[in-house]
Structure 1
Amino acid sequence: MELFNKSGALIASVLVMVGALIACQAKEGTVPPASEIEAVAQRLGAHGGAAAERRLREWAEQGSVVAKRELGMLYQNKTPQRGEAMRLFEEAARAGDAESAFQLAEMYHRAADGTGHEPEKAWPLYVQAAEHRHPKATLRLASLARNGSDEAARWLAGAGLK
């Protein structure tokens, strides 16, 4: 009986996701608000689904910065798609998305794993995100700056942590 309840819950959640996608497709050619894109991405992360991923890709191709960021988040930990994640984050960061700038900076910062990217590329991206009040970027800048330096103090003051 417990198996039936779990299966029923899974089927119900998939049907809700499919319904949301159908509703979005009814407005073909329009990009939904950021909150709707993020909700689809969250369901995709929780349950997977080629249809949801395809829809995010369509929105990204239509120019949605949020869809690019969410696809990047989906791909960043998948080795074959890391390059695509970096490209998506870069496009979204250029459009002013602070979270994308931070995520791309994190990928560069961790890139000492032989991927061919230089961790030095992370600094300007952290700065971009911190200038848009991204708290983790601000803290990362402070930790990367020399301990006790004026620059570290400036970033910590910007985060309200001095």
Structure 2
Amino acid sequence: MELFNKSGVLLSSVLVMVGSLIACQARDDLVPSAPEVQALAQQLGKHGGAAAERRLREWSDQGSTVASRELGMLYRNDVAKRGDAMRLFEKAARAGDPESAFQLAEMYRTGAVGTIDEADKAWPWYVQAAEHRHARAALTLASLARTGEGAARSEAEVAKWLAAAGHVK
């Protein structure tokens, strides 16, 4: 009887371990929460690492808006990867991420995508970000409307975007 109890405990332990391994493997297929993605991206920014970058790319491919944005942030200052950064920001912005819309607009406005300033392409992305309560986007829109960069000069637009920026907490 004692032998049966020991083998039962052993069998139970093995089954629990197998179940845990299956759960861990299933977890790899899931996109993690935004804070988990941001923590990995922060670690990647400090220490580099092909494995962490590859993981962010996998999550981005699985539809994580935050992973797309964070990978875009990583790539935006690398001249060779700016095109990738633009695509990643646009993907995340189209999924509703205001920070990605803002970063995409910044890249267009500053000419980071090529040799010419494309402020006219920046305007709609700033609008998208500002409409999602992104204060810097709203302030940038007010400034652009004041100077006429990327859109017609309009004091009404200046007032509209300054008011929008003032309502963001």
Cα deviation digits, residues 28-55 of structure 1 (max 9, x gap): 2101000000000001001111111010
How many residues of Structure 1 are paired with residues of Structure 2 in the alignment? 139
Residue from 147, 157, 160 that aligns with 2:163: 157
Evaluate the alpha carbon distance shift between residue 67 and residue 113 of structure 1 in structure 2; reply closer, same or farther with a 3 A threshold: closer
Evaluate the alpha carbon distance shift between residue 91 and residue 112 of structure 1 in structure 2; reply closer, same or farther with a 3 A threshold: closer
Q: Is the 8 A contact 1:112 1:119 kept in 2?
A: no
**Aligned residue number for residue 71 of structure 1:** 71
Q: Which runs of 5+ in 1 are unaligned?
A: 1-23
In the alignment, the residues of structure 1 paired with residue 86 and residue 48 of structure 2 have an alpha-carbon distance, to the nearest angstrom, of: 21
- Alignment RMSD, CA only? 2.2
**Aligned residue number for residue 16 of structure 2:** none
Q: Secondary structure in 1 aligned to 2:103?
A: helix
In the alignment, the residues of structure 2 paired with residue 156 and residue 144 of structure 1 have an alpha-carbon distance, to the nearest angstrom, of: 11
- TM superposition score normalised by structure 1: 0.79
In the alignment, the residues of structure 1 paired with residue 56 and residue 103 of structure 2 have an alpha-carbon distance, to the nearest angstrom, of: 18
Question: Which of the two has higher C-alpha Rg?
Answer: 2
In the alignment, the residues of structure 2 paired with residue 44 and residue 140 of structure 1 have an alpha-carbon distance, to the nearest angstrom, of: 29
**Aligned residue number for residue 17 of structure 2:** none
Matching residue's letter, 2:53: E
Structure 1 runs of 4+ aligned residues shifted over 3 Å read 112-117
Matching residue's letter, 1:83: G
Cα deviation digits, residues 105-152 of structure 1 (max 9, x gap): 000000178445622100000000000000110110011112671110
| TM alignment of 1:71-150, pairs within 5 A | 71-111=71-111, 114-115=114-115, 118-146=118-146, 149-150=155-156
In the alignment, the residues of structure 2 paired with residue 149 and residue 30 of structure 1 have an alpha-carbon distance, to the nearest angstrom, of: 48
Q: Which runs of 5+ in 2 are unaligned?
A: 1-23, 148-153
Evaluate the alpha carbon distance shift between residue 25 and residue 156 of structure 1 in structure 2; reply closer, same or farther with a 3 A threshold: farther
Evaluate the alpha carbon distance shift between residue 113 and residue 58 of structure 1 in structure 2; reply closer, same or farther with a 3 A threshold: closer
Evaluate the alpha carbon distance shift between residue 64 and residue 86 of structure 1 in structure 2; reply closer, same or farther with a 3 A threshold: same
- TM superposition score normalised by structure 2: 0.76
